[in-house]
């Protein structure tokens, strides 16, 4: 039996998600952590009898910690299998994708490469903004968490509900930065695509142009 759960998520989600898990096992021991330093402070003896559950976390769990988790490590990824890695909603908007989704998968040493257990897909509304797509993805991700909360709390092993593989390029912080490096000869359409997807100064990174050694940061038009 799983003796406890290590819940890796932002502080704002920890209480609500813990309550959902405990609704299926009131005696469930839960160790909420928000970052890698907190995760490393969890005793190895605890990890060996626990399951790690990450929810919309940007933390990359290193292989040595994954190896210590006795009942598996799982992640709720706020993007579909064809958008593994960092900032999936941003890259989907940049690609002008028609559909998006959320993924529940086992964690592996390489980011977003472990076995996929479940996926929920949905159409991207017309003229959807980054904020709108993020809110939709979060709502579906929470629903997916509620579906899997009981098996995570009770079951010694989890059974996949789909057979979809990961696909597409794994997006990284570096690729995000590269998209924000605006060339001087950029077309109007390409500039607009990048501004819509990356122009909100998320993660402290904004589209910018370098001219004669001077960097100019782009600002999206009001109302976008």
pLDDT tops 60 at residue 106: yes
Residue 127 located in a structural domain = yes
Q: What is the pLDDT of residues 72-105, one digit of tens each?
A: 999 999 999 999 999 999 999 999 999 999 999 9
Residue 128 has φ and ψ, to the nearest 5°, of -70, 135
Tally of domains in the chain: 2
On whether both 134 and 189 belong to a single domain, the answer is no
Predicted TM-score (pTM) of this structure: 0.93
Q: What is the pLDDT of residues 26-81, one digit of tens each?
A: 999 999 999 999 999 999 999 999 999 999 999 999 999 999 999 999 999 999 99
Range of the domain at 188: 173-217
Query: What CATH number is associated with residue 62?
Result: 3.40.50.170
Question: SS3 string of 78-141?
Answer: CCCCCCCECCHHHHHHHCCCCEEEEEEEECCCCCCCCCEEEEEEEECCCCCCHHHHHHHHHHHH
Residue 140 located in a structural domain = yes
Residue 29 located in a structural domain = yes
Which residues, 6 or more positions from 190, have their beta carbon under 8 angstroms from its beta carbon?
A: none
Domain boundary among 122, 154, 186: 154
Domain boundary among 105, 123, 154: 154
Residue 20 located in a structural domain = yes
On whether both 178 and 115 belong to a single domain, the answer is no
On whether both 147 and 204 belong to a single domain, the answer is no
On whether both 131 and 187 belong to a single domain, the answer is no
Residue 222 located in a structural domain = no
On whether both 61 and 129 belong to a single domain, the answer is yes
On whether both 78 and 138 belong to a single domain, the answer is yes
């Amino acid at each position: 039996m799983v003796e406890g759960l290590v819940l890796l998520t932002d502080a704002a989600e920890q209480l609500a998600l813990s309550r959902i898990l405990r609704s299926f096992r009131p005696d469930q021991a839960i160790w909420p952590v928000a970052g890698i330093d907190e995760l490393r402070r969890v005793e190895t003896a605890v990890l060996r009898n626990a399951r790690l559950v990450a929810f919309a976390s940007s933390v990359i769990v290193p292989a040595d910690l994954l190896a210590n988790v006795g009942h598996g490590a799982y992640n709720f990824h706020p993007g579909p299998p064809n958008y593994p890695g960092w900032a999936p909603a941003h890259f989907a908007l940049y690609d002008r994708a028609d559909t998006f989704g959320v993924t529940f998968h086992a964690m592996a040493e390489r980011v977003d490469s472990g076995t996929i257990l479940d996926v929920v897909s949905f159409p991207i509304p017309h003229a959807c903004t980054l904020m709108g797509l993020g809110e939709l993805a979060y709502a579906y991700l929470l629903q997916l968490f509620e579906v899997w909360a009981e098996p995570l709390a009770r079951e010694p092993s989890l059974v996949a509900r789909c057979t979809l593989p990961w696909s597409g390029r794994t997006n990284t912080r570096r690729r995000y930065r590269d998209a924000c490096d605006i060339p001087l000869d950029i077309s109007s359409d390409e500039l607009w695509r990048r501004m819509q997807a990356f122009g909100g100064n998320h993660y402290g990174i904004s589209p910018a142009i370098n001219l004669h050694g001077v960097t100019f940061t782009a600002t999206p038009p009001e109302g976008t």
